[in-house]
Amino acid sequence: MQAPQARAFLVVMDSVGCGAAPDAGAFFNGTRPDTGANTLAHIAAACSEGRADQGRSGPLRMPVLDGLGLGAAVRLASGAEMPGFCAEPRGLWGAATEVSRGKDTPSGHWELAGVPVPWEWSYFPDAEPAFPPELSAEVARLAGTGGILGNCHASGTEIITRLGEEHLRSGWPICYTSADSVFQIAAHEQAFGLERLLALCAALAPRLHAMKVGRVIARPFVGAPGSFARTANRHDYAIAPPAPTLLDWVAGAGRRTHAIGKIGDIFSMRGISDLHKGANDAALFQHLMALAETAEPGSLTFANFVEFDSLYGHRRDVAGYAHALEGFDAAAGHFLARLRPGDLAIFSADHGNDPTWTGTDHTRERVPVIGWGRGLRAVGQVAFTDVAASVATHLDIPALGPGRSFL
């Protein structure tokens, strides 16, 4: 057990998977199973072969996290070699496997925080219309409109390009979904109104949560036809975790908890003392850097960096994903240099999103578990829930979930 002044930083690199999970064959992108997906290894291979030279060039370079054990974690998880990732690990390293029946944001984050999902999520069919008539009618009633637009599976950027002008003309909200358990509503911040959009999503969320749909997501945008752009005012209305999570454990012990980025939405603000938001991952990393200096003794900082997933994974942009990984690795070095003796930092992920893969959906993968603050420690193959148990052990508080500490 650590002294009460020990601090913990749990950093989720959204979608940075490291090899297909044992049950990947039961998860699909279209008709193709996720067997063989490997976000990190496939990006590294593309870089080494000169297939990811837009905006960057050459082999993938992540010396900070590789120095802790990232390349070793990928080899452990999948047997795949990462070209250029040959450092002897100096930190804590391993790979984690999920048991929840989903490859989505809430499932991965909740399980990392000690709570596997005990139910099957509901999904909307990839058909048009995608939504039951009574649900579409309820959205229109709550919005005060004659109907809805979209009613299909779609990319968020594509659908506002396609339907934004009709939205401005009709005033009807644009509703769409994906392979995730989500219901998304896009609307123009000025013409429809941001507060009106947020109120609509908040009013609709209880109905969707009762259906075991994981999230209702407000997707505001601005601009005119030909130049529509989503804004940073996205808000997720997520179903609440089914049991107390790591955040609740820490708060219940009288400690401070800091949530960076989407963590507040994902955990419905439960167990969170302070929320730190930003327009993009660069702004969120500034919060992480500041908290390395100012976070209280005994506190937990839980961060999500979403742009690997939202900007590059779903869009199958290998070069963009590689560039983001390299930028994150450089920033991670500056963050680690600010930590104090006794601190623990763990870098992990919630699922995969292999940008070389078929389709646009997440991929079912194991995730790396890379740590600073405990010296060299090979933890092997662990469970997602073991991450929460280990953070609790470091903070010297009871671990109330099913995980086992690897510290």
Domain shared by 189 and 56, yes or no: no
Structural domain range at position 56: 8-118+242-395
The answer to whether the annotation marks 14 as part of a ligand binding site is: yes
Specify if 407 maps to a domain.
Answer: no
The answer to whether the annotation marks 350 as part of a ligand binding site is: yes
Domain shared by 165 and 254, yes or no: no
Specify if 256 maps to a domain.
Answer: yes
Domain shared by 218 and 252, yes or no: no
Domain shared by 333 and 301, yes or no: yes
Structure tokens of 293? Answer: 């200096």
Specify if 123 maps to a domain.
Answer: no
DSSP E strands in 89-143: the ranges are 92-97
Going from the first residue of the chain to its last (407 residues), give the mean pLDDT of each consecutive group of 10, the final group possibly shorter.
76 98 95 97 98 97 98 98 96 98 94 97 95 98 98 94 98 94 97 98 98 97 97 93 97 98 95 96 98 98 97 96 98 98 98 96 97 98 98 97 97
Domain shared by 255 and 380, yes or no: yes
C-alpha 358, offset from chain centre: 20
Could you tell me the CATH number of the domain that includes residue 53? 3.40.720.10
Could you tell me the CATH number of the domain that includes residue 149? 3.30.70.1250
Specify if 404 maps to a domain.
Answer: no
Domain shared by 139 and 113, yes or no: no
Structure tokens of 292? Answer: 């390395």
Final residue of a structural domain among 238, 256, 290: 238
Domain shared by 218 and 298, yes or no: no
The answer to whether the annotation marks 309 as part of a ligand binding site is: yes
Final residue of a structural domain among 238, 270, 301: 238
Final residue of a structural domain among 238, 265, 293: 238
Domain shared by 44 and 176, yes or no: no
Domain shared by 194 and 306, yes or no: no
Q: Where are the alpha helices (DSSP H) in 258-375?
A: 263-266, 281-294, 307, 318-338
Specify if 2 maps to a domain.
Answer: no
Domain shared by 232 and 271, yes or no: no
The answer to whether the annotation marks 351 as part of a ligand binding site is: yes
List of residues 6+ apart from 342 with CB closer than 8 A: 2, 3, 5, 6, 7, 373
**pTM of the complete model beyond 0.85:** yes
Closest by CA position to 311, among listed 289, 287, 288, 327: 327
Span 191-245, pLDDT tens digits: 999 999 999 999 999 999 999 999 999 999 999 999 999 998 999 999 999 999 9
Total tally of structural domains belonging to the chain:
2
Specify if 128 maps to a domain.
Answer: no
Domain shared by 181 and 263, yes or no: no
Domain shared by 387 and 311, yes or no: yes
